[in-house]
Structure 1
Amino acid sequence: MYGVSLGDDGAELRPLETWHAEELLAHFDRGREHIGQFIGFGSRETDVDSTRALLKRFADKRTEDSGSLHGIWSDGKLIGGVLFRTFDAATGVCEVGCWLEPAGVGKGLITRAMHVLIDWAVLERGMHRVEWHAASGNTPSLNVARRLGMRRDGVLRGSHLHKGTRHDIEIWSLLAPEWHALRARTARDDH
């Protein structure tokens, strides 16, 4: 299957398919504690069948044009991923998300992968608004939103119950005109 290079370090973004179930489960097992600090993603996938079911749900979402799941590989090893949690072409609004095991932290992989997803959503699919939802305590996730040029729209106080604790959820967004302007500035700065 195809892959998109994420830079000179050999990292690559590829779709996660149902046949990746064993590899994804091994990744979840390596990073379960780290990934699960603020989100439940991957927490219910404890065997190959449940992991395959997750991948199948996202394959169905991709078929329905309502979401998709993408893995980040570094040196041939799955270490994280990004997703369209929701994707509504009719309204022009989508929500992106991410997860990463400790081996991938601090390398800019999520930011680079998100650039690929947002470019595709805005430039190819005509999405108007890209949302990012993250717990207020999840500083690395909020920093990615900032690096992507997103703006904080607000906070849903105490709206997310995770591991017995209520978390505030911050909603960040990026509008298509902002993304176009950011890309134009980056292109000017590169020359």
Structure 2
Amino acid sequence: MWVRSLGEEGAELRPLEPWQAEEFLAHMDRGRALVGEYIGLADAVADLESSRALLQSYADKAAADTGRIYGIWCDGTLVGGVLFRTMDVAQGNAEVGCWLEPSAVGRGLVTQAARAIIDWAIEERGIHRVEWRAATANTASIAVASRLGMTREGVLRESTPHRGTRYDIEIWSVLAPEWRAARR
């Protein structure tokens, strides 16, 4: 298995796989309130069966080259993750997402992890456009998109229902030439 350091002592990024369903569920239980505030992941992972099913769905996406999921570990504990919710290599488009439990907030881990997978998608898989979608109220997620050098393209008004509320969703993106220029 590959492991990538995230620049902080003991912080690393590595694939999340179905055999880690129990660890993923425990992590989601620790972070459920924060994670579930704006994204459905906390509701989708409610028990061991749903945890395993979600991770299996991403293993299937990885096998089909249509998505991937990675965990962020600090000192051996799963504290968050990043993923390619969608990936269309033929069209050159991908959507990145993220989540963290409270113990890992404010350390730059998501920014470092997202930077690593975006680099891989652009340089190794030939992705041309990477999108980031976040509820307008999710200022932490929007701050990550900004730190990554993405451009805010617009807002999809009341487009996403979540727990009885319809959220406006901001769309941010970066194109491969912009990403490469900023990385130089």
Could you say whether these structures have the same fold, taking a TM-score greater than 0.5 normalized by the shorter chain as the test?
Answer: yes
Match of 2:91, as an amino acid?
T
Q: Which runs of 5+ in 2 are unaligned?
A: none
Per the normalisation by structure 2, the TM-score is 0.98
Using the TM superposition, give the Cα deviation of residue 13 of structure 1 relative to its aligned residue in structure 2, in angstroms: 0.3
Match of 1:154, as an amino acid?
G
Using the TM superposition, give the Cα deviation of residue 2 of structure 1 relative to its aligned residue in structure 2, in angstroms: 2.0
The residue that corresponds to 1:183 in the other structure is 183
The residue that corresponds to 1:187 in the other structure is none
The residue that corresponds to 2:94 in the other structure is 94
The residue that corresponds to 1:23 in the other structure is 23
Extract structure 1 runs of 4+ deviating beyond 2 A: none
* Rounded Cα–Cα distance in structure 2 between residues aligned with 1:69 and 1:129: 18
Structure whose CA Rg is larger:
1
1:164 aligns to 2:159 (yes or no): no
Using the TM superposition, give the Cα deviation of residue 43 of structure 1 relative to its aligned residue in structure 2, in angstroms: 1.2
Using the TM superposition, give the Cα deviation of residue 8 of structure 1 relative to its aligned residue in structure 2, in angstroms: 3.5
1:55 aligns to 2:55 (yes or no): yes
- CA deviation string 1:94-115 (max 9, x = no partner): 0000000001100000000011
1:126 aligns to 2:126 (yes or no): yes
Structure 2 counterpart SS, 1:126: coil
The residue that corresponds to 1:46 in the other structure is 46
- CA deviation string 1:129-183 (max 9, x = no partner): 0000000000000000000000011100000111111110000000001101110
Return 1-10 or 90-99, whichever deviates more: 1-10
The residue that corresponds to 1:188 in the other structure is none
What is the aligned length? Answer: 184
* Rounded Cα–Cα distance in structure 2 between residues aligned with 1:137 and 1:113: 22
Structure 2 counterpart SS, 1:169: strand
* Rounded Cα–Cα distance in structure 2 between residues aligned with 1:9 and 1:175: 31
Match of 1:45, as an amino acid?
V
* Rounded Cα–Cα distance in structure 2 between residues aligned with 1:155 and 1:58: 27
- CA deviation string 1:75-104 (max 9, x = no partner): 100000000000000000000000000011
Using the TM superposition, give the Cα deviation of residue 56 of structure 1 relative to its aligned residue in structure 2, in angstroms: 0.5
* Rounded Cα–Cα distance in structure 2 between residues aligned with 1:12 and 1:96: 18
* Rounded Cα–Cα distance in structure 2 between residues aligned with 1:100 and 1:54: 17
The residue that corresponds to 1:73 in the other structure is 73
The residue that corresponds to 1:149 in the other structure is 149
Match of 1:90, as an amino acid?
A
User: Percent identity of the aligned residues?
Assistant: 61
The residue that corresponds to 1:37 in the other structure is 37
Structure 1 counterpart SS, 2:7: coil
* Rounded Cα–Cα distance in structure 1 between residues aligned with 2:86 and 2:157: 22
Q: Which runs of 5+ in 1 are unaligned?
A: 185-191
1:7 aligns to 2:7 (yes or no): yes
* Rounded Cα–Cα distance in structure 1 between residues aligned with 2:13 and 2:42: 19
Using the TM superposition, give the Cα deviation of residue 126 of structure 1 relative to its aligned residue in structure 2, in angstroms: 1.1
